[in-house]
Every structure is written in structure tokens, then in C-alpha cells.
Structure 1
Amino acid sequence: MKNSRKKEILSWVKTLVIAAAIVFICRYFLFTPSTVLGDSMYPTLEDGNMVMVSKISDIQRFDKIIFHAPDADENYVKRVIGLPGDTIEMKDDVLYVNGKAYDEPYLKKNKQKLTIYEHLTNNFTLKNITGKEKVPKDRLFVMGDNRQNSRDSRFFGFISEDSIVGKVEFRYFPFNEIGGIE
């Protein structure tokens, strides 16, 4: 009887250790949860949203990423606008990357709130705000979707690729908004 109970306890301990190891590996090497703080990504992401971040995804232009803030002791969530080697310009609320105009549909809601004479994003060139013509190697240029209320590369410059926690893959809270993010 005692031997049978001992085997059952060992079986449970083994199962829990394996489950803990799987959680540890996933949490520290593959995915991590994060909570959005602030309104810099509104309306795409809102203060208090909980998101799952992939630590192994390739980062592409317009991805939403979490990174260690260069100007604060916290993590920021922003959208990747410029990759290494890119030139960036904002003119009359139109984004130009390497001379090509890009539509930014994720800004539509914020632009609808503006008067006809207002711009969501002030005009700039990369050279004006960073002193560089192109995004340097191993660096990214990021901006929040709530352009009038975002501390981003326009203020603190490029971010290091080493500072990236990961790519925002999906929202899991609030429950009525679970799923992928535009």
C-alpha cells in the first residue's frame, strides 16, 4: 500500500516538474505576457491591455514591439517604422520610407478627430531629428499610433535591436478583444 502511494506521489511530482520546465522554457525563451501602460498606441492598444509577446519572431516594418525604454526604467510598446538602412520622412501627414509613400490605416481613427488644418504627425526628416540620414545598423526607428501623445524615436532617437523584448502577437485582455491586433 505504501509503495503504491509513493509511486503515485513520484508520478505527480515528475509531472509537475515537467510542466514547470515547459512553462519556464516558453516564458523565458518563446513567449512572455506584457501589460500596455499608457495611451501612446491608442486606439490599436489601450492602457491596461494585456498582450502576448513572441521573443522569436522576426521584426518587420509596422510590427508592434515591446522594448526596454531608453529614457525610462520601463518597457514601451511602439510600432516599427524604420529598419536599418531606411530613410524616413513625414510630410503633410504622409509617411515616406526610402522615398515611397506608405498608407497607415491604423491611424485612421486618430486622423478623423482632427480639423482640416491639423496634422496627426508633425513634418520631419530623419536627419532633422536624429542627425542621421538613415537608420543605423542594429537600430530601429519606432513611433506610437497616438502620434500627438507618444514618447518615441522622435524624442529619444533610435532604439537598439538588443533592447527588444519581442513582437506583440495578440491581445488576451480585455476578454471582449481577444485575438490578433491590426
Structure 2
Amino acid sequence: MEQLIDNQPKQKMPKPRNGFVAFLLSLILPGLGQVYNGQPRKAAVFLGLLLLIPFLFGLTRGATFFYGMLALVFIEVTLRIYILIDAVRQARKQKLYIQKPYNTWYYHLLIAIGMIVVLAFYDLNAALGTQTFKIPTVSNNPTFQEGDFILADKRAYETKSPEYGDLVAFLGQDGQTYTFRIVGLPTDDLAVIDGIVSINGKLCKSKFVKPIMNLGIRAEEFQEVLPNGHTHFIYKFGRSYEGKLPDFEKTPIPADCYFVLGDNRDFSRDSRFIGFVKKDQIIGRMIYSYWGESGSLRMNIDFRDK
């Protein structure tokens, strides 16, 4: 009896895609749902767009403005939502889907690990040229409020040097991050007399504004004008958290160094205590707040002119 041998390859049975699974995979990692649906190229495009858009905003400096950052967040969120919708919609269309070689749990895991590695090495702050800080103290009242979330421009001093009045974030010698106002430039002779800055023997203009209560203590608000015309407000208590604060005697600022003060003059551990700030210690210039303890009242406050 002859035995018949069928050499024909077995036909793969369709395995419809599950919309819920596609949704979950895309929720975990943008584009993974498209891989599950047999669309790896589309997944690569979506992931590439999510990485490219912040880079373009950084390149055009759009993120250094509040509404530019708002536009970036809107675009990124909208794109992520679209990726989820697309994954579910395409999955529902795949009623007669024939599984690809990569449609196995271990291939999906390998692809997911690859995506995680890419995202882990992608530095969003570097792409945007910005960094976020939360203000932990009252040392810069009334300009900053405790709990403010503020964006710093990390590229502000790539082509220019810090100026009088700039509010900067910098890394101290103790490894801590500080945020203070630059009041003294390299080679200046600087003194602080009764809380007011004196530069090269000339006391900065100051004007009493009003009495205030701060930290439960009576104080005074003044308006101070730095040599370049920059005007800002300061608080003066007449004493510090460490007792009576003596005047800071006239001191020359070394080359490539800056002198910084907090606007809350008597409750600020600034250059009078931690010393001069070198330019390479500066992380960036504080540019605007986007939230705070009082919520939306602290949104879109531009500190470049304060």
C-alpha cells in the first residue's frame, strides 16, 4: 500500500487582534500596540515623533516661553492619545490577522526592552534646553514663593554672560542647588549695607514701598535698582534667622565669579554665607513659573523682568 506524504506547508490560522490588548500595550509604551498589530514601521514613526518634537522645540527655543511649553505638552498628549486610538482601531480591523514571526511574547518583550532603553537614554531636559525646579524656601520672597515650580533656561548663557538682576540656579560647593539673584559681576567691588547693594563704592538706588508682614514678622518692602537699570523688590527685616545680620564689607569679586543675594535679604543663605558663584556652577537662568502652592495664580509669571 502506498503511503501518501503531504509536503504542503500547513496554512496558518488567522488570529484576530484584541483591541484591549493593543490599548494596554500602547498605554505601557507608545508604539508597542502597533507592533502587536503587525505595524512595526508605524510604531517606529510614532516613537520617533515623540522624541523629535521636544528636540524641535528646544532647537527653536519655543520651550523657553510659557505658551510654547503649553503647546509642546498639548502636542505630546494629543499624539499619545492618537497612538492609543490608532492601536485600538487597527486591532479591530484585523479580523483575519495572520501572526508575524515577531508576534510572540518574547519578541514583544525584547522590542519593549529596546524601547525602554531608548527612552531611558533620551534626556528630555537636554533636548529642550530647560530644567524644572521647585522652590523650597522663602529666601527669594517676594519674587519667588515657597512651592513655586519654575523653569530654568539651561542655554541662557551659551552666547552671553549673566547680567545684574538675573535669577539663576546653580550648584553650590556643598552639592546643593540654590536659586538667587545676581547682584555682582566679575571684578566688581561689592558691599551690602543695611540690606542694600553697593557696587564699586556706589549704593544702588532703593525706594521704600510699603510695610508688610512676612513669616509673622513685621518687615518692609523696598524697590532696588541695579547698575544696569534692572528693578526688583526686596524684603528687609533688620535681622536674620541667625540674629542681627551685619553689613557685608566691601569685597572684590574674582574674575569669572558672581555675587548672589536672595530678595528676602535677611532670611537668605546667599553669597554672604556660601561665597562667590563661578560661571561653570550656574545651571541656568530662571525664566517662568508654571505652578505653585496657590495653583493657577503662580502660572506664567515671567521672571526675566522681575
TM range (shorter): 0.7 to 0.9
Which residue number corresponds to residue 262 of structure 2? 144
What is the rounded CA distance, in whole Å, between the counterparts of 2:248 and 2:47 in structure 1?
A: 60
Q: Contact conserved, 2:139 with 2:263, CA < 8 A, in 1?
A: yes
- The one-letter amino acid paired with 1:41 is N
Q: How does 1:34-73 map to 2 (within 5 A)?
A: 34-58=133-157, 59-71=162-174, 73=175
**Matched position secondary structure for 1:106:** strand
Which residue number corresponds to residue 250 of structure 2? 126
**Matched position secondary structure for 2:289:** strand
- The one-letter amino acid paired with 1:28 is A
Query: Would you say 1:15 and 2:49 are equivalent positions?
Result: yes
What is the rounded CA distance, in whole Å, between the counterparts of 2:274 and 2:44 in structure 1?
A: 54
Q: Alignment partner for residue 177 of structure 1, among 287, 293, 298?
A: 298
- The one-letter amino acid paired with 1:34 is F
What is the rounded CA distance, in whole Å, between the counterparts of 2:139 and 2:271 in structure 1?
A: 12
User: What is the deviation of 1:4?
Assistant: 8.3
Q: Contact conserved, 2:180 with 2:262, CA < 8 A, in 1?
A: yes
CA pair 26-9 structure 1, distance change in 2 beyond 3 A: closer
CA pair 61-20 structure 1, distance change in 2 beyond 3 A: closer
Query: Would you say 1:83 and 2:185 are equivalent positions?
Result: yes
Which residue number corresponds to residue 16 of structure 2? none
How many positions carry a matched residue from both structures?
167
What is the rounded CA distance, in whole Å, between the counterparts of 1:50 and 1:97 in structure 2?
A: 32
Gaps of 5+ in 2: 1-34, 59-121, 206-223, 225-231
Q: Contact conserved, 1:95 with 1:102, CA < 8 A, in 2?
A: yes
What is the rounded CA distance, in whole Å, between the counterparts of 2:150 and 2:164 in structure 1?
A: 19
CA pair 94-25 structure 1, distance change in 2 beyond 3 A: same
What is the rounded CA distance, in whole Å, between the counterparts of 1:94 and 1:18 in structure 2?
A: 47
Gaps of 5+ in 1: 128-133
Q: Which has the larger radius of gyration?
A: 2
CA pair 20-96 structure 1, distance change in 2 beyond 3 A: closer
User: What is the deviation of 1:146?
Assistant: 1.1
User: What is the deviation of 1:32?
Assistant: 1.1
Deviations 1:53-111 (A, max 9, x none): 0112241111111011223x32111010111011112234432112233231411xx24
Q: Contact conserved, 2:195 with 2:265, CA < 8 A, in 1?
A: no
Deviations 1:9-65 (A, max 9, x none): 343233234246557576126211111111111111122101110112241111111
CA pair 4-136 structure 1, distance change in 2 beyond 3 A: same
**Matched position secondary structure for 1:126:** strand
Q: Alignment partner for residue 28 of structure 1, among 120, 126, 151?
A: 126
Which residue number corresponds to residue 233 of structure 2? 106
Q: Alignment partner for residue 176 of structure 2, among 55, 74, 86?
A: 74
What is the rounded CA distance, in whole Å, between the counterparts of 1:89 and 1:63 in structure 2?
A: 18
- The one-letter amino acid paired with 2:302 is G
Structure with the greater relative contact order (CA < 8 A, sep ≥ 6): 1 or 2?
A: 1
What is the rounded CA distance, in whole Å, between the counterparts of 2:239 and 2:50 in structure 1?
A: 55
